[in-house]
Amino acid sequence: MLFKINITTFNKINLTMTTTTYQNLIEKRKSCKECHGYGLCNDLNLGHLKGNLYQLETILNDHFSIDSLGLWNPADNLNPLTATVLIVGQDFSNVGYFTDNKVNCLFRLNEIEIGNETNRNLLKYIDLTSINRNEFFFTNAVLCIKGGKMSDPVKRQWLINCSNNFLKPLILEHLRNLKIIITLGKVALDSINEIKIDLKKTKDDDLKDKFSSIPGKNYIINIGDKQFTLYPMFHPGRLGNSNAKRVKKDPIELWKAISTLEHKS
């Protein structure tokens, strides 16, 4: 069953949790155009694509008035700034996906996201960690939207800009209780590689080795003056699960291992 939410109630709950400095980061995100010359679109500028500017802006203004930096929220989760676990996905979507689904979901902003296969898989995996869902904060490595196909590659300049402008301050300044970072797929891991300053390996492989060799290992990383445990994972979509099986790694067992390791720490 798809999760339904009353936007007015949702906004009131989240506004009480939003600090002024975090709201400033959200405002910076809303106005960011650093990647427009590299083929990305800020979703707040997409209304003209279907002649529905007022409706789309209404949706987005509602969305960005809540406690959220980006558009991705795959659970009945408030993305609390008190979260101890950060999940970093890849890029959010392309223009076609965004306009087809979001414009048609006025006042039901999260239903499409919660109902898709990737997010269903992710929620199933999260539950295997034995960590309560309200301990998770979700964000994307790239917050703006691609103008081409969903399968078009992510450009490094997008990661450089988004990681330094938004992901790094989110981690260092706003998620004060953060201990664990989980990345979904290579793009998300690359975004962390852009901002980490030191690495103490707990396994033999480096984070920049062939990606398929990395999931299943945990790393101690430093970002700024803080230290975190990093769990790189395969993307929970169909292709990511297929890639995991191809190298004989079971996503279910990989996510279960997070619970085991955290209980030991």
The pLDDT value given to residue 205: 45
Helix/strand/coil for 89: strand
CATH code where residue 232 lies: 3.40.470.10
Q: How confident is the model at residue 4 (pLDDT cuts 50, 70, 90)?
A: very low
Which amino acid, one-letter code, is at 162? C
**What's the half-sphere exposure (Cβ side, CA atoms, 13 Å) at 128?**
16
Q: Is residue 40 pLDDT above 50, yes or no?
A: yes
Render pLDDT for 125-157 as a digit per residue (tens, 0 to 9). 999 999 988 899 999 999 888 877 888 888 999
The pLDDT value given to residue 14: 46
Q: By mean pLDDT, which of 64-68, 108-112, 207-211, 244-248 is the weakest?
A: 108-112
CB-based contact 157:38 (threshold 8 Å): yes
| Ramachandran area for residue 219 (φ above 0: left; ψ -120 to 50: alpha; else beta) | beta
Higher pLDDT, 221 or 201: 221
CA dist 185 and 205 (Å) reads 17
| 2 domain residue, yes or no | no
Q: By mean pLDDT, which of 16-25, 89-98, 246-255 is the weakest?
A: 16-25
Q: Give mean pLDDT, residues 170-198.
A: 92
To the nearest whole percent, how much of the chain has pLDDT over 70? 68
Listed in sequence order, the residues at least 6 apart from 128 whose beta carbon sits closer than 8 Å to its beta carbon are 252, 255, 256, 258, 259
The pLDDT value given to residue 235: 95
Number of compact structural domains in the chain: 1
| 38 domain residue, yes or no | yes
Which residues partner with 231 through β-bridges? 182
Q: Is residue 187 pLDDT above 50, yes or no?
A: yes
The pLDDT value given to residue 145: 82
Mean pLDDT of the chain, nearest integer: 77
Q: How confident is the model at residue 1 (pLDDT cuts 50, 70, 90)?
A: very low
Q: How confident is the model at residue 97 (pLDDT cuts 50, 70, 90)?
A: confident
CA dist 170 and 68 (Å) reads 11
| 40 domain residue, yes or no | yes
**End-to-end CA separation in angstroms for the chain:** 36
Q: By mean pLDDT, which of 45-54, 56-65, 131-140, 159-168 is the weakest?
A: 45-54
Q: How confident is the model at residue 117 (pLDDT cuts 50, 70, 90)?
A: confident
Q: How confident is the model at residue 43 (pLDDT cuts 50, 70, 90)?
A: low
The two structure tokens encoding residue 79:
């993305």
Which residues partner with 145 through β-bridges? 41
| 70 domain residue, yes or no | yes
| Residue 120 lies in domain | 7-264
Render pLDDT for 212-252 as a digit per residue (tens, 0 to 9). 889 988 999 999 999 999 999 999 999 999 999 999 999 99
Q: Counting beta carbons within 10 angstroms of the beta carbon of residue 192, is it exposed (0 to 12), middle (13 to 18) or buried (19 or more)? A: buried
Q: Give mean pLDDT, residues 55-59.
A: 51
* 201, containing H or E segment: strand 198-201
CB-based contact 47:57 (threshold 8 Å): yes
The pLDDT value given to residue 159: 93
| 1 domain residue, yes or no | no
The two structure tokens encoding residue 238:
């169909």
The pLDDT value given to residue 211: 87
